[in-house]
Amino acid sequence: MAERPLDSWLRERMQAVGLFSWRALQARAGISRRALDQVRQGQWGSLRLEQLQKLAAALEWELGSLLGGGDPSPRGSNTAEAIFSLLQPLLTSYPTVREIARRKPDWPAQNVTALFRSLDALLQQWGYEAIGSPLESVPFDPQLHQPDQPDIRPGDPVYIRFVGYRRKDYILCPAKVSRSLPGGLS
């Protein structure tokens, strides 16, 4: 069988905890072969949180260590950033959806936001911070913001349409900003 993207990294951890085959890891974690194959391919998003928690426990890691590449040092951050890039569309949209639901309680998506509470905990565990708050008025900063129009200048008042994310001083993705709020919001 062909080597998969995360095989070397997983094998190293498996050996450290006394697991010497994929079948042994699958059995200890109590996950399906398909789920294990998805992990080996780096397709974390297709697994349920419960499956990821079981896999982390089998490897004797905290969930954040598993998703963050198993290494809290800067060397491990590449895996976390790869995972972040997969989650980025959800992560940048979620705070805006949550804020709209807060401002418009009759909006049909009101109950959807509860489904994403674990994202807040995951982001905190990874050390990621949101850049701004949805619909917040801020002065434009080209280091932190991505404007929707090219003529927005530093210091111009803008609204955060979609939050960005940073890890300490490293900008993972800038906040998307505009001169005006989306229609119907104030």
pTM above 0.85, yes or no: no
pLDDT (tens digit per residue) in 4-35: 667 887 888 899 999 999 999 999 999 999 98
Q: What is the pLDDT of residue 138?
A: 97
State the Cα–Cα distance between residues 37 and 69, nearest whole angstrom. Answer: 17
Number of alpha carbons in the 13 Å side-chain half-sphere of residue 176: 12
User: What are the mean pLDDT values of the chain's consecutive 10-residue runs (186 residues total)?
Assistant: 72 90 93 87 73 86 68 46 68 80 76 67 82 95 95 96 90 91 72
CA of residue 70 relative to chain centroid, distance: 16
State the Cα–Cα distance between residues 108 and 120, nearest whole angstrom. Answer: 22
Q: Nearest-CA neighbor of 131 among 101, 99, 168?
A: 168
Residue 179's SS3 state is coil
CA dihedral defined by 116, 60, 30, 75, rounded to 10 degrees? Answer: 60
Read off the DSSP letter of residue 97.
H
Residue with tokens 């509470």, as numbered in its chain: 117
